Amino acid sequence: MNTVTCGSAPLRANKPFDRRGRPPAKHFQLHMNIFTTQAHQAADKTGVLELANDVDPRTLDLSGITRIDLQFPTFTDGRAYSQAYLLRRRLGFAGELRATGDVLIDQLLQMQRTGFDVAVLKEGVDASAAQRQLDRYAGFYQGSAVDTQPLFAKAA
Amino acid sequence: MYQYTEFDKAFVRARAAEFRDQLGRWQTGQLTEDQFRPLRLQNGWYVQRYAPMLRVAVPYGEINAAQLKVLARIAREFDTPDAAVLAEAQATQDKLPGMAPKLTTNYGHFTTRQNVQFNWIPLAKAADVMDLLATVNMHGIQTSGNCIRNTTTDELAGVAVDEVVDPRPYAELIRQWSTLHPEFAHLPRKFKIAITGASEDRAAIGWHDVGLQLVKNEAGEVGFKVLVGGGMGRTPMNGVVFRDFLPWQDIMNYLEAVVRVYNRWGRRDNKYKARIKILVKAEGQRYVDEVETEYREILERDGGLHTIPQSELARVQAGFVQPALDLPESTDEWLAQAEATLGIEAAKTPAFARWLAQNVKPHRNLQLRAVSLSFKRPGYAPGDATADQLDAAAVLVEKYSGGEARVSHTQNLLLPWVRLDQLHALWQDAKALSVAQPNIGLLTDMIACPGGDYCALANARSIPTASAITERYQDLDELHDLGPIDLHISGCINSCGHHHSGHIGILGVDKDGKEWYQVTLGGSDGKHLSGAAGPGKVVGPSFSAAEVPDVIEAILETYKQLRAPKANGQQEAFIETLRRVGQEPFKAAANAARQPHETQTA
Number of continuous H segments (helices) and E segments (strands) in chain A: 5, 6
Residue B187 with chain A: CB contacts under 8 Å: 78
Over range A101-127, report the average pLDDT: 95
- Asked if B575 contacts B522 with a C-beta cutoff of 8 angstroms, the reply is yes
Q: Looking at CA atoms only, how far is residue A148 from chain B in angstroms? A: 7
Interface probe for A, chosen from B3, B5, B7 (most Cβ of A below 10 Å), is B7
Residue B302 with chain A: CB contacts under 8 Å: 89-90, 148
Q: Of the candidates A56, A90, A104, which has its C-beta nearest B297's C-beta?
A: A90
A154: contact with B, CB 8 A cutoff:
no
Tell me how many residue pairs between chain A and chain B have CB atoms under 8 A apart.
Answer: 119
Which residue does chain A place closest to B175, by CA atoms? A141
A14: contact with B, CB 8 A cutoff:
no
Contacts of A155 (CB under 8 A, 6+ apart): A18, A19, A20
Which residue does chain B place closest to A17, by CA atoms? B7
pLDDT of the residue at B102: 83
Burial A17-43 (b: 16+ CB within 10 A, else e): ebbeeeeeeeeeebebbbbbbebbeee
pLDDT of the residue at B170: 98
pLDDT of the residue at B96: 82
Rounded CA gap, A85 and B140, in Å? Answer: 27
Residue A110 with chain B: CB contacts under 8 Å: 182-183, 185
Among B270, B338, B241, which Cα is nearest to B532's?
B241
Q: Looking at CA atoms only, how far is residue A50 from chain B in angstroms? A: 18
Interface probe for A, chosen from B3, B130, B186 (most Cβ of A below 10 Å), is B186
Q: Has residue A10 got a pLDDT over 50?
A: no
Contacts of B229 (CB under 8 A, 6+ apart): B209, B237, B239, B240, B276, B277, B279, B280, B281
Among B77, B294, B44, which Cα is nearest to A89's?
B294
Which residue does chain A place closest to B38, by CA atoms? A76
Q: Has residue A19 got a pLDDT over 70?
A: no
Residue B252 with chain A: CB contacts under 8 Å: 142
More confident residue, B569 or A71: A71
B409: Cα within 13 Å, side-chain hemisphere: 26
Q: B207-210: which pairs have CB atoms within 8 A and are 24 or more residues apart?
A: B207/B231, B207/B232, B207/B238, B207/B239, B207/B498, B207/B500, B207/B501, B207/B525, B207/B526, B207/B533, B208/B152, B208/B239, B209/B239, B209/B275, B209/B276, B209/B277, B210/B239, B210/B255, B210/B258
Q: Looking at CA atoms only, how far is residue A137 from chain B in angstroms? A: 6
pLDDT of the residue at B597: 62
pLDDT of the residue at B123: 93
- Give the tens place of pLDDT for each residue, A121-142: 999 888 888 888 888 999 999 9
Rounded CA gap, A12 and A35, in Å? Answer: 15
Which residue does chain B place closest to A136, by CA atoms? B14
pLDDT of the residue at B536: 98
Which residue does chain B place closest to A148, by CA atoms? B305
Q: Looking at CA atoms only, how far is residue A6 from chain B in angstroms? A: 19
Position A30 confidence tier, pLDDT thresholds 50, 70, 90:
low
Residue B42 with chain A: CB contacts under 8 Å: none
Residue B35 with chain A: CB contacts under 8 Å: 75, 104, 106
Q: Looking at CA atoms only, how far is residue B181 from chain A in angstroms? A: 7
Q: B61: how many CB neighbours lie within 10 A of its CB?
A: 27
B401: contact with A, CB 8 A cutoff:
no
Q: Looking at CA atoms only, how far is residue A86 from chain B in angstroms? A: 10
Q: Of the candidates B7, B181, B311, which has its C-beta nearest A142's C-beta?
A: B181
A22: contact with B, CB 8 A cutoff:
no
- Asked if B498 contacts B232 with a C-beta cutoff of 8 angstroms, the reply is yes
Residue A112 with chain B: CB contacts under 8 Å: 182
Which residue does chain A place closest to B25, by CA atoms? A129
pLDDT of the residue at A44: 83
Residue A151 with chain B: CB contacts under 8 Å: 7, 176
Q: Of the candidates A81, A85, A104, which has its C-beta nearest B35's C-beta?
A: A104
B96: contact with A, CB 8 A cutoff:
no
Q: Looking at CA atoms only, how far is residue B34 from chain A in angstroms? A: 10
Tell me the percentage of chain A whose pLDDT exceeds 70. 80
Q: Has residue A5 got a pLDDT over 70?
A: no
- What are the start-end ranges of the H helices in B159-250? 168-178
Residues 39..68 of A with a Cβ closer than 8 Å to B: which? 54, 56
pLDDT of the residue at A13: 40
Question: What domains does chain A contain, in order, with CATH numbers?
Answer: 29-146 (3.20.20.70)
Q: Of the candidates A18, A112, A143, which has its C-beta nearest B306's C-beta?
A: A143
Residue B146 with chain A: CB contacts under 8 Å: 76, 78
Among B382, B576, B565, B562, which Cα is nearest to B489's?
B382
C-alpha B162: how far from its chain's center?
A: 21
Residue A18 with chain B: CB contacts under 8 Å: 7
Q: What is the CA radius of gyration of chain A?
A: 16
Residue A104 with chain B: CB contacts under 8 Å: 31, 35
Query: Mean pLDDT per 10-residue run, chain B (602 residues)?
Result: 95 97 96 95 91 95 98 97 90 81 91 96 96 98 97 98 98 98 98 98 98 98 98 97 98 98 97 96 98 98 97 97 90 96 97 98 97 96 97 98 98 98 98 97 96 87 93 96 98 94 96 91 97 97 95 98 93 97 97 75 46
B7: contact with A, CB 8 A cutoff:
yes
Rounded CA gap, B170 and B158, in Å? Answer: 12
Rounded CA gap, B166 and B220, in Å? Answer: 14
B3: contact with A, CB 8 A cutoff:
no
B69: contact with A, CB 8 A cutoff:
no
